[in-house]
Amino acid sequence: MKRTATAVLVALLAAPAAQAAMAGDPARGKGIYDRCLACHALAYNRTGPMHCGLFGRRAGSVPGFEYSPAMARSKIVWNEKTLDRFLAAPTRFVPGTAMGYAGISDPQERADLIAWLRQASASPEECPR
pLDDT at 100: 87
The rounded mean pLDDT for the chain is: 87
Pick from 82, 89, 45, 88: which is nearest to 67 by CA? 45
Report, as an integer, the average pLDDT of 46-69.
96
CB distance 94 to 86 below 8 Å: yes
Give domain limits for the chain. Answer: 24-121
How many Cα atoms occupy the beta-carbon half-sphere of 85 within 13 Å? Answer: 10
Q: What is the CATH number of domain 24-121?
A: 1.10.760.10
Asked if the model's pLDDT at residue 69 lies above 70, the reply is yes
